[in-house]
Amino acid sequence: MTNNKENIKLTDLGNQLRKAREKANLTQLEVAEASDVSTNYYAQMERGEVNPSVEKLQKVKKALKIKDLKI
């Protein structure tokens, strides 16, 4: 179970991912496919519902062509 502070951080991370995706003019499907994750999982990342592994975050960052995320 995650605590409230962790939930806020995951929500912030999700918002950063969504903004980066929208700026790149990509769909969730396109990012998910480029990141080798399911569309559903990527959508959960954007909503802050999952705590992705470092490996998955690196793949998403590469797909979105972003260098840093504020975690």
pLDDT, one tens digit per residue, over 20-64 is: 999 999 999 999 999 999 999 999 999 999 999 999 999 999 999
Find the largest Cα–Cα distance for the chain: 34
Type of residue found at 65: K
pLDDT more than 90, % of the chain? 79
* Tokens of residue 47, six digits: 């909503």
> In angstroms, rounded to a whole number, what is the distance separating the alpha carbons of residues 13 and 16?
5
Q: How confident is the model at residue 3 (pLDDT cuts 50, 70, 90)?
A: low
Three-state secondary structure call for residue 71: coil
Give pLDDT, residue 59: 96
> In angstroms, rounded to a whole number, what is the distance separating the alpha carbons of residues 36 and 45?
14
Res 7 pLDDT > 80: no
CATH class of the 4-64 domain in this structure: mainly alpha
